[in-house]
Structure 1
Amino acid sequence: MIDYRGWRHTFKLDPDKEIDDEALEAICDSGTDAIIVGGTYGVTFDNTLALMSRIRRYAVDAVLEISSLEAVVPGFDAYFVPLVLNAGDPDWTFAPHVSGLLAYGSYIHWDEIIAEGYLVANPEAGVARLTKARPIPDAATAKAYAQVATHICRLPVVYLEYSGTYGDPEVARACKAGAAEAHFFYGGGIRTPEQAAEMAAIADTVVVGNLVYEDVKAALATVAAVKG
């Protein structure tokens, strides 16, 4: 099993977005601890397989964050399975996982499966609209959700996702406190090394996603800011 608890920095790549070979090589050889593959819309088996095949040329951990049963591709080092903690549509909490087990249960290597308590904090994000995510009005609410994830559901990972906008450090700090012994990921809106360093002082792992497609050089600079 991969040692995700040792990760400080990861990049998240979306199979539905274009990235050229030069940029991908720079990202994979940047010193980041892992590449997470995942997205909300337009993720298919074919584009996930194509991206995984390109990443596999490099010596970096590659993980699939499952958002669609149709896009589950074998060959990744591990699979993150998100449970959206604040989903307003209950079908996004457990129903997809039951469907997945009915379809693929006999093929699953459980040592490759890592469950995430996923907290969606940006109401304008695509994943928030898709899951009808309930708003996170304050840091205390974020902490309570994280406590549900780690103390009640016993999930090994809590992931605070701001998806496209930079998050409130106080919310992140409260979420980290609530996560207790669970590994705490932060992702969303990081566009500068300073923001990456600020969240790295709070989270166990910082995830940089959209910036890869906006400014590769700026994205690469976040590695040293987090791990430096």
Structure 2
Amino acid sequence: MMKAWKHVFKLDPDREIDDQNLDAICLSGTDAIMVGGSTGVTFENTVDLLSRIRRYELPCVQEVSDMESIVPGFDLYMIPMVLNSSDPAWIVGHQQQAIDRYGYMIPWELLVTEGYIVLNPDSAVARLTDANTSLDISGAVAYAQIADKLMSLPIVYLEYSGMFGDMELVRTVKNKLNQAQLVYGGGITDYAKAKQAAAVSDTIIVGNIVYEDLEQALLTVSAVH
């Protein structure tokens, strides 16, 4: 399913979006909606957002950041492994706890593991996961190849979260991958940046601009399709 996605809007359950703006996002032509966030995500606000998105005919996936906020009814569940975290809990620890607790009821066929590489030191996700963000291109490529070649993960996710990243780094990582799909997220605030990011990755994730400038957010779809 996800291999065909070129553009995904990411909505944060902890941020407000009115019905009119949600309607515009869901009818924009994007390939899917991802629901998730680094902080403030709860079962209640995730259920609420999912129920509103489900009025539309498009795939909806949950990026799981907290086991307490996992909600049944999504088409897929994205499971991040933050490969450049200094804390092993963000690589396998939280996942082990979740499987230990909920393994008997996990729909394994709906889980997709993401090899996350967090690259913005000022982002909430970098602080939360204690990520080593001071990577040069070869360092980022090495993490990506661990995900792609050693771990056979289906997705490598370059996460700049709030800033527009180094497109030469993204391009180089893309060229070094064998089977993994390269997903890029961070700082896509207009048509031009969406075009640049889409040219060097398989899938772009557009998030913050949805809440700051809806018109620019909608233009990112036409940049890709």
**TM-score past 0.5 threshold:** yes
Q: Aligned residues: percent identity?
A: 52
Q: What amino acid is the match of 1:141? A: G
Superposition map of 1:1-228 within 5 A: 3-227=1-225
Residues 78-131 of structure 1: CA deviation (Å, up to 9, x unaligned): 000000010011111101001110111111111100000001000110000011
Partner Cα distance (1:205, 1:168) in 2 = 16
Instruction: Name the count of aligned residue pairs.
Output: 225
Instruction: Point out the more displaced range, 52-61 or 177-186.
Output: 177-186
Contact 1:150–1:158 (CA under 8 A) maintained in structure 2: yes
Q: What amino acid is the match of 2:63? A: E
Q: What amino acid is the match of 2:113? A: A
Q: Secondary structure of the equivalent of 2:85?
A: coil
Partner Cα distance (1:136, 1:126) in 2 = 16
Residues 17-74 of structure 1: CA deviation (Å, up to 9, x unaligned): 0000000010001000000000000000000000000000000100000000000000
Q: Secondary structure of the equivalent of 2:17?
A: coil
Q: Secondary structure of the equivalent of 1:221?
A: helix
Structure 2 unpaired stretches of 5+: none
Partner Cα distance (2:34, 2:20) in 1 = 18
Question: Shift of residue 208 of structure 1?
Answer: 0.3
Aligned residues: CA RMSD: 0.7
Under a length normalisation based on structure 1, what TM-score does the superposition of the two structures give? 0.97
Instruction: Point out the more displaced range, 134-143 or 154-163.
Output: 134-143
Under a length normalisation based on structure 2, what TM-score does the superposition of the two structures give? 0.98
Instruction: Point out the more displaced range, 135-144 or 32-41.
Output: 135-144
* 4+ residue segments displaced more than 4 Å: none
Contact 2:126–2:133 (CA under 8 A) maintained in structure 1: no
